[in-house]
Amino acid sequence: MKQSLGAKTLICPTPTWVVGSYDEQGKANAATVAWSGICCSDPPCVAVSLRKATYTYGNLVARRAFTLNVPSQRQVKQADYLGLVSGRDIDKFAAAGLTAVRSDLVDAPIVGEFAMALECRVVHVHELGLHTQFVGQILDVKVDPEILAESGMPDMSKLLPILFSPGEQRYYGVGTPIGSAFDVGKA
Amino acid sequence: MKQSLGAKTLICPTPTWVVGSYDEQGKANAATVAWSGICCSDPPCVAVSLRKATYTYGNLVARRAFTLNVPSQRQVKQADYLGLVSGRDIDKFAAAGLTAVRSDLVDAPIVGEFAMALECRVVHVHELGLHTQFVGQILDVKVDPEILAESGMPDMSKLLPILFSPGEQRYYGVGTPIGSAFDVGKA
């Protein structure tokens, strides 16, 4: 018999990604998000939800661009820090010891030390309530070569992204491979 | 120096969740999705993207409701199977040995054997391209008591959801806890 937990944003896993943006003065900002996910294959798009109160919200409205960066579990302290403070008050890149690398495709900075970055142009903005959803068209995916598999595709066991468990407010690492997609279910 | 992989839906991790819906005749269907994520805290909402060609797409348009169910890594074969075949051709619940439990809140079935289910009412539909994004307001979260932590919240190390790595087309399990959110970054 299942138990009711109420109308809450409880589901696992959610990602731990970092949105890179510029403010009106050109200062780079980086903010951690979990309310995000791929939302279209063609054109390739990813959705990121932000509260209007955040500094990143204003940056995305003004610049119509962002990057979505994937920290590894070795960078969990930096990833958490980037969700704790506001870019309104501080230069988060400098405080976290991170490098803002200007994207050559979109008006937003890449986090140099994180191994994967999606460069996105805002194509839709959806008002949902407390959060506004920004749909970004993915113009390119940039990765450190070290995280690629022999196939040339990103290897999750090398990237080692961080999982967020909303109910527990806890981060987890990635475990072991458990099967090939579109294959293991044929049995 | 980062390497360019092109305009692709490559990011890790994406989830492996199963959408429950009814067709016009009342037949329950279950379909695996990875293009999904929480998108608003208040009202609590989750976004699920579907291609128009899928059977589930028509069901959500007609019924304006769905469930989002979380299989565990022990159920990876069933989860993969539910993404391989169409409910147009087959009774996927029966074929996978799963039980469709009618939700008492929304017009959609819960997957009885999966430990977590979100019951959702469609509140927005966004045309994005190949995929249509359905935003579902979460009316309740139902869980098997076994996956709860002492806090009463879902424990990801008990739920053991499946991660999907799009580039590799491979599933991964969840690893170990690596820190408390909104805490580990204070250092």
User: Are the beta carbons of A166 and B46 separated by less than 8 Å?
Assistant: no
CA distance B177 to B180: 8
Does this complex have an ipTM over 0.90? yes
Amino acid B187: pLDDT: 78
- Is residue B146 in a domain? yes
| CA separation for the pair A47, B39 (Å, rounded) | 8
pLDDT value at B181 more than 90? yes
Pairing of strands A14-15, A163-165: antiparallel
Distance CA B170, CA B168 (A): 5
Reading the block at residue B135, the tokens are: 């935003």
Question: How far apart, in whole angstroms, are the C-alpha atoms of residue B183 and residue B176?
Answer: 17
The answer as to whether A2 is a domain residue is no
User: Among residues A152, A142, A159, A71, which one has the least CA distance to residue B2?
Assistant: A142
CB contact under 8 A, B154 and A165: yes
Query: Is the residue at B132 inside a domain?
Result: yes
With CA atoms as reference, report the closest residue to B183 among A32, A104, A22, A88: A32
Q: Is residue A56 in a domain?
A: yes
- In the numeric block, which tokens belong to residue A100? 């803002």
Give me the mean pLDDT over the B76-98 stretch: 95
pLDDT tops 90 at residue A187: no
Q: Could you report the per-residue pLDDT of A1-43, keeping only the tens digit for each?
A: 899 999 999 999 999 999 999 999 999 999 999 999 999 999 9
Domain count, chain B: 1
Q: CB A40 to CB B35 under 8 A?
A: yes
Q: pLDDT value at position A175?
A: 98
Cβ–Cβ of A7/B141 closer than 8 Å?
A: yes
A-B CB pairs within 8 A amount to 370
Q: Among residues A61, A49, A69, which one has the least CA distance to residue A131?
A: A49
B47 is a domain residue: yes
* pLDDT, mean of residues A111-130: 98
Write the pLDDT tens digit of every residue in B58-71.
Answer: 999 999 999 999 99
The reply to whether residue A78 touches residue B185, judged by beta carbons under 8 angstroms, is yes
Is pLDDT above 90 for A89?
no
Q: List the CATH number of the domain containing B116.
A: 2.30.110.10
CA A80 to chain centroid: 12
Question: Which of the four pLDDT bands, split at 50, 70 and 90, describes residue B89?
Answer: confident
CB contact under 8 A, B174 and A172: yes
Of residues A37, A83, A118, nearest to B182 (C-beta)? A83
Section A79-84 average pLDDT: 96
Q: 3-class secondary structure for B156-187?
A: HHHHCECEEECCCCEEEEEEEEEEECCCHHHC
The yes-or-no verdict on residue A148 having pLDDT over 90 is: yes
* A9: in domain: no
Question: Is residue A183 situated within a structural domain?
Answer: no
For residues B74-95, give the mean pLDDT: 95
What's chain A's average pLDDT? Answer: 97
Residues of chain B contacting residue A18, judged by C-beta atoms under 8 Å apart: none
- Per-residue pLDDT band at B84 (split at 50, 70, 90): very high
| Amino acid B179: pLDDT | 96
CA closest to A14 among chain B residues:
B37
- Domain assignment of residue A70, given as a range: 14-176
Contacts of B162 in chain A (CB under 8 A): 178
Residue A158 counted as domain residue: yes
**Closest partner residue to A142 among B3, B76, B165, by Cβ?**
B3
Average pLDDT over residues B175-187: 94
